[in-house]
């Protein structure tokens, strides 16, 4: 049994008797209760703006009359970045808090665990942010939908730019867990399709959250690559970018990097942000659409700061939930499953929908280059690639779905 599945089964068996014996608490008739699970303590740079985006969307919806004449009310719970803890919390939210819907999760291994729990308990689950494609493909189920684009889409979004570089020899660095492994495998496959002549001369799979930057940077330098593909994020990214800059790893060498253009990860780097990297991210000052203009103005007025990408994800997640509940006419699981098939909803990046084939949303990705302006790392602009253009073929997806 996979370790996360073992955690799901063991934790559920351990806590269920205790939770049921505690008794259910009464729920107001004029409320729709949402149970949101996430790694608030482990990923504060991501989840603090996420919660603000969530709050903004919920306030807007409730001010307009709510959903089905009821207020949206969210109960937030921390999963401590642990799959077993996430399952325990999910069971508590259902059994004791009597939530109508489960949602949330950022880390991939936690997302897989909660998706499996939703399948076991036959409860609707909208995964807002886990990047592992297994959440909807190899290990997906009819109860689980996902909002954010996954590892395949991220790799596919940057592969064309990487293929145009004068680079044949590539090195890769990634966190050694589900997200990093999947993102690197997808990038290699996508780049090979476009440039069959490329070689992958080195890989550094580092422990998540425990990067020893010096030896890793030296190992990459020793491989003499023409370009580097980076999947590190958070504190690991900060260490890598600073150590690589100090040792000259990025001098005259292209870098393609996932997530690095998100303000959550750029802000800690300040003037040490690496200029010229090709990245996915959030160029919030250069998105000129009516939807984004309205979102950023409302966000800055409400919180006195600019949004982060996770603010957008949370905001869109609440809007999708509201649209789905409205279409379903209730929070019944089977009604929600039917309603979310092909559901159209609004995001700050424009309209999106959930694919009927695999429960994946079509929310897209921005790709651009990094710069340093006014002593701060920024993604000054970027091309928005719609999520419909970043998925494998229907035949490939069907093969993964049929194999599960």
Q: What does the pLDDT average to over 206-223? A: 93
Q: Which helix (H) or strand (E) holds 73?
A: strand 71-78
CB 189 within 8 A of CB 236: no
Given a cut of 90, is residue 67 above it in pLDDT?
yes
Edge-first strand order for the sheet with 31-38 is 71-78, 31-38, 101-104, 125-127, 144-146
Confidence band for 28, pLDDT divided at 50, 70 and 90: confident
Q: Do residues 171 and 205 lie in contact, with contact meaning Cβ atoms separated by under 8 Å? A: no
**pLDDT band at 26, cuts 50/70/90?**
low
| Listed residue (58, 71, 63, 81) closest to 30, CA to CA | 71
| Residue 365, number of CB atoms within 10 A of its CB | 25
Mean pLDDT of the 67-89 span: 97
pLDDT for 17: 35
Categorize the per-residue pLDDT at 12 as very low, low, confident or very high, splitting at 50, 70 and 90: very low
Task: Locate CATH 3.40.50.2300 in the chain.
Answer: 3-146+290-364, 152-281
Half-sphere exposure of 204 (CA within 13 A, CB side): 27
Confidence at residue 27, expressed as pLDDT on a 0 to 100 scale: 64
Pair 360, 354: CB distance under 8 Å: yes
Q: Which residues contact 131 (CB under 8 A, 6 or more apart)?
A: 108, 148, 150, 151, 154, 179, 182, 183
Model confidence pLDDT, tens digit, residues 280-316? 999 999 999 999 999 999 999 999 999 999 999 999 9
Fold of 3-146+290-364: Rossmann fold (3.40.50)
Place 11 in a pLDDT band, splitting at 50, 70 and 90. Answer: very low
In whole angstroms, what is the distance from residue 104 CA to residue 132 CA? Answer: 14
* List of E strands, 79-215: 101-104, 125-127, 144-146, 169-175, 199-206
For residue range 310-355, list pLDDT tens digits in order.
Answer: 999 999 999 999 999 999 999 999 999 999 999 999 999 999 999 9
Q: What is the pLDDT of residue 361?
A: 98
What pairs with residue 351 in β-bridges?
Answer: 346
Q: State mean pLDDT over 92-112.
A: 96
Contact 354, 361 (CB under 8 A): yes
pLDDT at 18 over 60: no
CA-to-CA distance for 323 and 310, rounded, in angstroms?
20
**Which residues are CB-contacts of 373 (< 8 A; sequence separation ≥ 6)?**
380
pLDDT at residue 24 above 50?
A: no
- Residue matched to tokens 């990067």: 211
H-state helical runs in 199-342: 213-222, 234-246, 263-266, 290-303, 309-328, 333-340
Query: Average pLDDT in the 127-150 region?
Result: 97
How many other C-beta atoms can be found within 10 angstroms of the C-beta atom of residue 153?
24
What is the mean pLDDT of the segment spanning 172-182?
A: 92
At 209, the pLDDT band (50, 70, 90 cuts) reads confident
Looking at domain 152-281, its CATH superfamily turns out to be Response regulator (3.40.50.2300)
| Residue 89 clears pLDDT 70, i.e. is over it | yes
Residues 236-273: pLDDT tens digits?
999 999 999 999 999 999 999 999 999 999 999 998 99
Residue linked to tokens 């599945």: 5
Average pLDDT over the chain, rounded to an integer:
93
**Average pLDDT of span 364-376:** 95
Taking Cα atoms as reference points, which of 221, 172, 146, 161 lies closest to residue 195?
161
Residue 19 has pLDDT above 90, yes or no: no
- Start-to-end CA distance of the chain, whole Å, equals 14
C-alpha distances in angstroms, 89 versus 84, 97, 179?
A: 9, 10, 23
pTM above 0.85, yes or no: yes
Element (H, E) at 187: helix 178-194
């Amino acid at each position: 049994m996979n370790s996360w599945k073992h955690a799901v089964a063991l934790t559920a068996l351990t806590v269920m008797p205790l939770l049921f014996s505690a008794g259910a608490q009464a729920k107001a008739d004029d409320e729709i209760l949402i149970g949101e699970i996430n790694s608030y303590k482990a990923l504060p740079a991501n989840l603090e703006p996420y919660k603000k985006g969530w709050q903004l969307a919920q306030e807007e919806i409730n001010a307009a009359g709510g959903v089905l004449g009821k207020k949206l009310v969210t109960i937030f719970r921390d999963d401590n970045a642990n799959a077993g803890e996430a399952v325990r919390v999910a069971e508590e939210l259902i059994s004791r808090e009597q939530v109508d819907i489960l949602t949330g999760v950022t880390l991939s291994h936690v997302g897989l665990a909660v998706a499996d729990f939703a399948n076991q308990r036959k409860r609707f689950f909208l995964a807002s942010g886990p990047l592992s494609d297994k959440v909807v493909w190899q290990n997906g189920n009819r109860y689980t939908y996902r909002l954010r684009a996954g590892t395949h889409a991220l790799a596919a979004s940057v592969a064309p730019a990487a293929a145009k570089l004068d680079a044949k020899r590539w090195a890769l660095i990634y966190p050694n867990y589900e997200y990093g492994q999947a993102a690197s495998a997808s990038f290699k496959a996508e780049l090979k399709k476009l440039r069959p002549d490329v070689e992958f001369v080195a890989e550094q799979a580092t422990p998540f959250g425990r990067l020893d930057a010096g030896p890793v940077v030296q190992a990459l330098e020793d491989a003499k690559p023409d370009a580097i593909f980076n999947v590190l994020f958070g504190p690991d990214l900060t260490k890598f970018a600073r150590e690589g800059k100090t040792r000259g790893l990025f001098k005259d060498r292209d870098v393609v990097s996932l997530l690095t253009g998100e303000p959550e990860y750029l802000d800690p780097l300040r003037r040490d942000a690496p200029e010229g990297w090709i990245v996915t991210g959030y160029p919030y000052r250069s998105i000129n659409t009516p939807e984004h203009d309205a979102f950023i103005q409302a966000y800055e007025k409400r919180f006195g700061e600019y949004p982060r990408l996770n603010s957008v994800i949370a905001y869109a997640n609440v809007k999708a939930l509201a649209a789905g509940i409205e279409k379903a006419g209730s929070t019944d699981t089977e009604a929600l499953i039917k309603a979310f098939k092909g559901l159209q909803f609004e995001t700050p990046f424009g309209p999106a929908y959930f694919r009927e084939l695999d429960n994946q949303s079509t929310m897209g990705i921005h790709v651009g280059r990094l710069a340093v302006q006014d002593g701060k790392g920024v993604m000054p602009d970027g091309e928005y690639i719609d999520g419909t253009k970043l998925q494998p073929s229907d035949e490939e997806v069907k093969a993964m779905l049929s194999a599960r």
